[in-house]
Amino acid sequence: MSVNFHAIKAIYRFEMARTWRTPLQSVLSPVISTSLYFVVFGAAIGSHMQAIDGVPYGAFIVPGLIMLSLLTQSIANASFAIYFPKFVGTIFELLSAPIAWWEAVFAYVAAAATKSVVLGLLILATAFLFVPLKIAHPVWMLLFLILTATTFSLFGFIIGVWADGFEKLQAIPLLVITPLTFLGGSFYSIDMLPPFWRAVTLVNPVVYLISGFRWSFNGTADVGIAVSLAMTLVFLAACIAVIAWIFKTGYRLKN
C-alpha cells in the first residue's frame, strides 16, 4: 500500500501556514493568558501556600495549567481545521481527492498536535520565569505532551465533523473540557479530597492525563503512571475508531 506523502505534506503545510499568519491569536494569546496564572497563583499566592507532596505550590500547578492549554488548543485547532472546509463547501474536494481518509486525518491531526506541542513548550519555558521548576523525567514529559496533543486533536477532529455551527465548536471545550480540567487536579491533589469525592473525581478522564504529566515533573502522582498511560491510549484508540466510522458512513461529511 503506497502512501500519498505529497497530499499529507500539502495539508500539513497549509494548516501550519494558517497558524503562523495569526501568531497573536494562535500563540501569544494563550501564552500570555497562562502566564497570568503563573503570576497570580505561582509568584504571588504560591509563596503563601503550603507545599504539596514536598513540591512548592507554584511548581505544582504548572503541569495542570500546561495541560489545560494543551487540551483546549488541540481541540480548537483540529475542530476548526475540518469544520471550515465543511462550512465553505471545499470538503467535497478533499473527499474526491486521491487520498485515503487516514492520510487526510493524519495530516490534519499532525498539524493540530504540532501547534499544541509548540504552544505547550512555550508555556513551559514561560513558567521557568515565574516559579522554581524541575523536570524529573523529561523524556516522559515530552511523550505525555505529544500523546495528549495527538489524542485531543483526534477528539477535536470528531467535534469539527459533528458541529453544524460555530457555537458547537466552542461548546465542548468551554462547557466540558475546561471544567473537567479544573476539577481534575490542576490546582490541587485529589488525595486532599474526602474519600467519596476522590472516588467521584476518578471518573474524570482528565485526572489521568494531569496525574501522568505531573509525575514527569515531580515524580509524584495521584494515579499510577501505568494507569495514566493506559487510559490515554484507550481514549486515543476510541477516537481513531470513531473517525474510521465517520469516514466509513460519511456521517455529516457527505450531506
DSSP state of 22: -
Tell me the one-letter amino acid at 244: A
Cα separation values, 146 from 128, 149, 218, Å:
20, 5, 19
Cα separation values, 204 from 10, 63, 213, Å:
37, 17, 15
Residue with cell 498511560: 229
Tell me the one-letter amino acid at 25: Q
Q: Hey, how many other C-beta atoms are within 10 angstroms of the C-beta on 6? A: 10
What residues contact residue 224 under an 8 Å CB cut-off, 6+ apart? none
pLDDT tens-digit readout, 90-125 = 888 888 888 999 999 999 999 999 999 999 999 999
Written as tens digits, the pLDDT of the chain (255 aa) is 688 999 999 999 999 988 777 777 777 888 888 888 877 776 667 667 788 888 888 888 899 999 999 999 999 999 999 998 888 888 888 888 889 999 999 999 999 999 999 999 999 999 888 888 889 999 999 999 999 999 999 999 999 999 988 888 888 888 889 899 888 888 888 988 899 989 989 999 899 999 999 999 999 888 999 999 999 999 999 999 999 999 999 888 876
Is the CB of residue 59 less than 8 Å from the CB of residue 90?
no
Per domain, the residue ranges of the chain are 5-249
pLDDT tens-digit readout, 192-221 = 889 998 998 999 989 999 999 999 999 988
Secondary structure of residue 185 in the 3-state scheme: coil
